[in-house]
Amino acid sequence: MLVGAPLIAFLCLGWYARYDEFRNSLKNDALDAYLKRFWSKSLLKTIRYAEQQGGPVFTSDTERLSQFPAHWPTLGDRLFANIYHDQYGLWVFVPPFLILLVVTYAITAVAAWLCTVGACASGGTATCIFGLGTSMIVSAIAGALMFVVSDSVLNIRRRALNASDVYWYSLRLFLAMPLAVVAAGAATSNDSTHVLGAFALTTMPVEAIIKAIRRVAAFNLNQSEKVDSVPDELIQLNGVTKYVTASLHAEGITSIEQMATADPVTLSIRTGFPFRFMLRLGSQAIVRRHFGSDASKLLPIGLADVVPIYLLIRMLDGNLPPGFPANALTTNDLEKIVEAAAKCLFSDAPAGPDTTTHAPLIVKMKFRQIAAEEYTTMLARITPLDPAL
């Protein structure tokens, strides 16, 4: 009951709250931009199906993608719901949940049998399970159950529980006995130390155990191999910690380029991080992809994200976003902003007329490249700036 109750509560409440988080951020033009960027083939397939049902017939895919919201306003919402349920629906949790229940009942039955059957109830007597004592087995099972319950409750509170996590919980419980065997083989003659070691070992996450094994295997790594290790690129992003990078690495995201092209919805689901945080990291990654490590120099003037750059270019072109005051900034003011960005980026360059003349042109070209990216357009619609600012 302790293992199953949190999962049932998540499937009844937490899953829907997580779904609403994405629906609240992806609406209207923002949702259309997201579908065009990451699910264009599914979107085109859905539009063609709508055409066959009696809607207007378009002559090209470009026309379909640009005009479908005017003819089918709810098409994007229905497509996103189908995609979300296929990728992260409630049915995805059924197989791992059943496996977890079976494994939980099995190990608790073993513990109950050991504690109630004749000579096996003696803590110092070797049992028929790998020759382990009852206290060793019970402590290992208790440690594994404590980890599963505590970690599942933590993930549910964060609304970050995935089906893969439930599979890991099943493996964690299944490994309780083998880990007890490992603890029993420790170089000590004290039985109480073995029991404590079994409990401590089974409360550790699987990834922590794997990391410890890898450290032991790499203990003889020579110094040259250590020096040649590549530094983590993701840690350069604002708001990223070692815990965040570890979660992103687990999903195969190890570089700035990958972060700038990853689907933020899928990545948010798999890592458990808030959707807006994933958008923030993707926004920074795009700017850093164009300017490298110098992108951090744009933080003081507020141009280290793509949305301010996108709005700056639109205003330079005279294409003001809806809601922006017509005379908020003059062209001269905008050019001064570009010059300030150039000074920040080329602060280490030798001073001279060429630098003064060419640096703003180079920065403006880079800004236009950033503003023209599909990901930038999507972010500008999902997280628009307040016109009052």
Provide CB contacts within 8 A for 205, sequence distance 6+. 147, 151, 172
Give the sign of the dihedral formed by CA 10, CA 13, CA 18, CA 19: positive
Q: Cα–Cα distances in Å, from 278 out to 136, 158, 161, 167, 259?
A: 43, 15, 17, 25, 9
Identify the pLDDT of residue 130. Answer: 62
CA distance 265 to 280: 12
Identify the pLDDT of residue 46. Answer: 92
Identify the pLDDT of residue 250. Answer: 83
Query: Helices 176-184 and 134-157 meet at what angle, rounded to 10?
Result: 130
CA distance 380 to 311: 8
Dihedral angle at the C-alpha atoms of 30, 34, 37, 38, nearest 10 degrees?
180
Provide CB contacts within 8 A for 216, sequence distance 6+. none
Mean per-residue pLDDT of the chain: 82
- In the chain, which stretches have pLDDT less than 70? 117-131, 185-192, 212, 214-231, 321-328, 349-355, 384-389
Q: By the 8 A CB rule, do 148 and 139 touch?
A: no
Q: 3-state class of 272 per DSSP?
A: coil
pLDDT digits (tens, 9 = 90+) for 251-309: 889 999 999 999 999 999 888 888 999 999 999 999 999 998 888 889 888 898 999 99
pLDDT digits (tens, 9 = 90+) for 329-353: 788 888 899 989 998 888 776 666 6
CA distance 130 to 386: 65
Q: Which residues of 198-219 are buried (b: 16+ CB within 10 A; e: fewer)?
A: bbebbbbeeeebeeeeeeeeee
CA distance 288 to 298: 10
Pick the closest to residue 145 from 105, 97, 92, 197 (CA basis). Answer: 105
Q: 3-state class of 190 per DSSP?
A: coil
Identify the pLDDT of residue 18. Answer: 87
CA distance 103 to 100: 5
